[in-house]
Amino acid sequence: MATNQANTNRLHPEEQHSKFWQNAHTYFNRVYDQMGLDPTWRQYLSSPKRILTVSCPVRMDDGSINVFTGYRVQHNNARGPFKGGIRYDASVDRDEVMALAMIQTFKNALVELPYGGAKGGVVCTPKNLSMAEKEGLTRRYTSEIMPIIGPNQDIPAPDAGTDAQTMAWLLDTYSMMVGHQELGVVTGKPVSIGGSVGREEATGRGVMNVLRAFLKTKGKTLDGLRIAVQGFGNVGSWAAKLLRDRGAKIVAISDRDCAVRNDGGIDADDAMAYVKKHRTLAGYSRGNGDEISNQQLLMTDCDVLIPAAMENTLDAEVAPHVKARIVAEGANGPTTPAADEILRENGVTLLPDILANAGGVTVSYFEWVQGLQNFFWSKKEVDDELQKIMEKAFAEVNAKADAADCDYRTAAYTIAIDRVNEACRLKGLFP
């Protein structure tokens, strides 16, 4: 059942929203107030256009039928078709997907992609599903959200718990139901069936590009920089590898099961191979460093901390103990507003999520363009164009921060909100 909402709070006055939803709106409201924009548009810019909740019955391997709950939230499409990932995780709920869709709107605007923001999710534990069960779930979920997705309407992509294989199933399901191959309906696909080279590592590469651009303003390089990465999934592992390949030292990594520290440096390629084989970092500390807790990793002695796991991991309890002087947000919403203030007061430079992790959606845009044209780019073209966009976005944020004497998050949101607000104002309301 889809719900078109002009004002979520007005439709549900008694509803208590999650902390993550509140955090996303706190960041938005702070900047919107500072910008002095027409208050008429505030609710429109902060409310989702559409929320679709679906039931996904799946026949499990043992013959039973399990019904999973899925969501697709479309936040704002004033700048173009909706775009955003699909997350498979036990923590997924409506508020989380609403907040992520809103963040996606401003992320897309910041790097000047012709997209609005969306996000999807299914409540499940992916590691407990067999490949057949995951395929059945993906195909059913795709069929349920099909009325609101499409290459010119809403283009999904991978997120936590999903990958290129998931996107391949989504592509095939959609294409079968419309009767023809439709490469532009989804990004993050395997290269062999219309995906883009460079998409798998794109978010991690974007983190590297932004970090390197920031260091350049300080006359520094990555060489010898000590980096801790919280979350060794797609984003964190590729960020670690790419940074290590350029001279940085990875001193700590973690996933949900284990965190490892090694002052001598962790071989990112070796750790990635271990996770690919075992699907976890558990046990990796043997011979490769000392096992620590995830919270200890956030507070470990390092130059750069990359939170690349889930939202709300850097909170007011942890923030005072963060030793890193730079925090580059590889995940969406990893820092709470209270922690954000503490880090700023302590002199920590924070490179915000809507800037630092925008590499994934940027290369998704490249993939979408290639699919629509059936003309594919080389790896060098993809990497070079990504670097140009990420460095341009950082330069704009850096210039805004200098001009307004503000932090990078405020600068990034100021630019993004202004672009979305302008598009909404120019288009007006229909009817």
Which helix or strand (DSSP H or E) is residue 307 part of?
strand 304-307
Query: Residue 15 has what pLDDT?
Result: 58
Judgement on whether residues 175 and 230 belong to the same structural domain of the protein: no
Q: Which of the residue ranges 130-139, 255-264, 390-399 would you say has the lowest mean pLDDT?
A: 255-264
Whole-Å CA distances, 380 to 197, 357, 394 = 9, 20, 21
Judgement on whether residues 140 and 35 belong to the same structural domain of the protein: yes
Cα separation of 176 and 155, whole Å? 17
Judgement on whether residues 10 and 127 belong to the same structural domain of the protein: yes
Judgement on whether residues 228 and 280 belong to the same structural domain of the protein: yes
Q: Which of 194, 160, 164, 150 is nearest to 377 (CA)?
A: 194
pLDDT per residue as tens digits for the range 230-276: 999 899 999 999 999 999 999 999 998 889 999 999 999 999 999 98
Residue 217 pLDDT more than 50? yes
pLDDT per residue as tens digits for the range 169-199: 999 999 999 999 999 999 999 999 999 999 9
Q: How confident is the model at residue 221 (pLDDT cuts 50, 70, 90)?
A: very high
Cα separation of 85 and 92, whole Å? 13
What's the number of domains the chain is made of? 2
- Give a yes or no: residue 426 inside a domain: no
> What is the domain extent for residue 302?
202-356
Which are the catalytic amino acids? 119
Judgement on whether residues 350 and 254 belong to the same structural domain of the protein: yes
Q: Which 8-state DSSP code applies to residue 335?
A: B
- CATH code of 27's domain: 3.40.50.10860
Q: Is 100 helix (H, G, I), strand (E, B) or coil?
A: helix
214 with 205: CB under 8 angstroms? no
Judgement on whether residues 136 and 215 belong to the same structural domain of the protein: no
DSSP string, 352-397: -HHHHTTHHHHHHHHHHHHHHHT----HHHHHHHHHHHHHHHHHHH
Judgement on whether residues 113 and 137 belong to the same structural domain of the protein: yes
DSSP string, 128-158: GS-HHHHHHHHHHHHHHHGGG-BTTTEEEEE
Query: Residue 12 has what pLDDT?
Result: 47
Q: Which 8-state DSSP code applies to residue 333?
A: S
Q: Kindly provide the residue ranges of all beta strands, DSSP E only, lying in 46-173, ordered along the sequence.
A: 50-59, 65-76, 82-89, 116-123, 154-158
Q: How confident is the model at residue 9 (pLDDT cuts 50, 70, 90)?
A: very low
Judgement on whether residues 180 and 264 belong to the same structural domain of the protein: no
Cα separation of 392 and 159, whole Å? 25
